[in-house]
Amino acid sequence: MADSPTSAEAESTDALAIVVAKLRAQDVIDAAQDEGVYDADRSVTEHGADAVAIPVTAPPETISYREVVRQVGEPRLRTLEDHLRERGWSDREIDAAPGSWAVIGSVVLVEMGDAPRPEEIGDALLTMHGEADTVLSRGPISGTHREPDVTVVAGEGDTRTVHREHGIEYGLDLSEVMFSPGNKAERARMGEIVDADDRVLDMFAGIGYFTLPMADAGAKVVAVEHNPTAFEFLLENAMRNGVTDRVQAYRADNRDVLGEGLDAFGDAPTVDRIVMGYYDATEPDGDGYTYLDPAIAALEPGGTIHVHEATPEPLTFDRPIERLEDAASTQGRSVDVLETHRVKGYSEGVVHVVVDARIE
């Protein structure tokens, strides 16, 4: 941490800002919010070529920073509506503007829908988020590899970025691989509930969404990902976070890896924990379940499985639990549900849920 602010800096404590590397911006904002010192009434602004000034109400106690400075100028307009009104937008146009967006590293990701003048919206979002340099309009995720459809609407147009949250760094290209901001709490949770030296199978690892926080917590993770681009980022991110010794990555189909008996764990062909982060992984196939059946067979008696599913509201929790129990019963095993919770809305009438269960 830097020294206390100088007397000149302290003259106006309501205009203090801390200077940090631009790459750390989102992590520092999150930490400042947790500490209760982030000042949402002012903008994050650039500070030199590689740094930003993050507005705070007082110098933070738990965050490292380069220096404390005073921000000068007018307080920022707090909402997108304020910015658009300043640009002369009508009430009807503002009603059609997006109501939410996410900052992922140096990129603002937003669903424009039918909003008018997306370039002006993009420029406004860049004004509001000084840590970002590109705004992308997000379309639907499609295809076997869950590939995104994005369009550059403002800024530099660089879709590659490094996103930081809860001490984990995710390198990615938002034009080629998906990243769900709404799963932030779930990524953090997996790093908290895993035990050190757990043997974990992450069946749909992507760029390391769950693999990285679990490996960072000390677990040994076999991470399986079929998408070649996501797999490259998975390898890169394991190195970036210093967990290559705890991550064994396979670019393969889960069924092939499971069929080989998980030789990555040597003499222990079963695992303590399995993560199934693919929404459709619980779908039945003929008389059985394409992914659930081999997953349960690979799970140590008393091991835990974390099943993600996009479930219609009326079937919330009931459907994934019934599928788990059905798949387990065919192998003479039982299901003890440990926890159920909603992650986020998935689409109209459909919710993303997670079921944690012990398989005896």
- Pick from 83, 112, 86, 109: which is nearest to 161 by CA? 109
Q: Locate the domains of the chain by residue range.
A: 7-70, 80-158, 180-359
Options 3.40.630, 3.90.1200, 1.10.3470, 3.30.70; which CATH number does 7-70 get?
A: 3.30.70
User: pLDDT tens digits, residue range 327-338?
Assistant: 999 999 999 999
Is residue 253 a known part of a binding site?
A: yes
> Is 155 in contact with 134 (CB distance < 8 Å)?
yes
- Pick from 102, 87, 33: which is nearest to 63 by CA? 33
- At residue 266, the pLDDT reads 53
Mean pLDDT score of the chain, rounded to an integer? Answer: 88
pLDDT tops 70 at residue 9: no
Q: What's the CA gap between 81 and 92, in Å, rounded?
A: 11
pLDDT tops 70 at residue 35: yes
Look up residue 142 and give its amino acid.
S
Is residue 325 very low, low, confident or very high in pLDDT (cuts 50, 70, 90)? very high
User: pLDDT tens digits, residue range 137-192?
Assistant: 998 776 666 778 889 999 999 999 999 988 899 999 999 998 988 889 999 999 99
Q: Give me the percent of the chain exceeding a pLDDT of 70.
A: 90
Does residue 247 sit in helix, strand or coil? strand
pLDDT tops 90 at residue 15: no
- At residue 207, the pLDDT reads 96
- At residue 147, the pLDDT reads 76
Is residue 261 very low, low, confident or very high in pLDDT (cuts 50, 70, 90)? low
Residues forming a β-bridge with 129: 44
Structure-token pair, residue 179 = 């990243």
User: pLDDT tens digits, residue range 124-141?
Assistant: 999 988 889 999 999 877
- At residue 281, the pLDDT reads 87
> Is 328 in contact with 339 (CB distance < 8 Å)?
no
User: pLDDT tens digits, residue range 285-314?
Assistant: 888 898 999 999 999 999 999 999 999 999
Please tell me whether the overall predicted TM-score, pTM, comes out greater than 0.85 for this model: no
> Is 153 in contact with 163 (CB distance < 8 Å)?
no
Neighbours of 200 (CB within 10 A): 26
Give DSSP secondary structure letters for 196-210.
Answer: TT-EEEETT-TTTTT
Find where tokens 């039945």 sit: 284
pLDDT tops 90 at residue 98: yes
Average pLDDT over residues 221-247: 96
Average pLDDT over residues 244-267: 77
Is residue 158 a known part of a binding site?
A: no
pLDDT tops 80 at residue 75: no
Residues forming a β-bridge with 306: 275, 356
Q: What's the CA gap between 315 and 335, in Å, rounded?
A: 18
Look up residue 162 and give its amino acid.
V
Average pLDDT over residues 26-53: 87
Q: How far is CA 350 from CA 140, 209, 337, 353, in A?
A: 15, 22, 21, 9
> Is 333 in contact with 339 (CB distance < 8 Å)?
no
- At residue 11, the pLDDT reads 42
Is residue 180 a known part of a binding site?
A: yes
pLDDT tops 90 at residue 279: no
| Length of the chain, in residues | 360
Average pLDDT over residues 79-98: 93
- At residue 259, the pLDDT reads 67
- At residue 8, the pLDDT reads 41
Average pLDDT over residues 2-7: 46
- At residue 5, the pLDDT reads 46
80-158 is a CATH 3.30.300.110 domain = yes
Options 2.40.40.20, 3.30.565.10, 3.40.50.150, 3.30.450.20; which CATH number does 180-359 get?
A: 3.40.50.150
Average pLDDT over residues 243-248: 96
Q: Give me the percent of the chain exceeding a pLDDT of 90.
A: 64
Is residue 183 a known part of a binding site?
A: no
Is residue 6 very low, low, confident or very high in pLDDT (cuts 50, 70, 90)? very low
> What is the DSSP code (8-state) at residue 33?
H
Is residue 254 a known part of a binding site?
A: yes
> Is 102 in contact with 181 (CB distance < 8 Å)?
yes
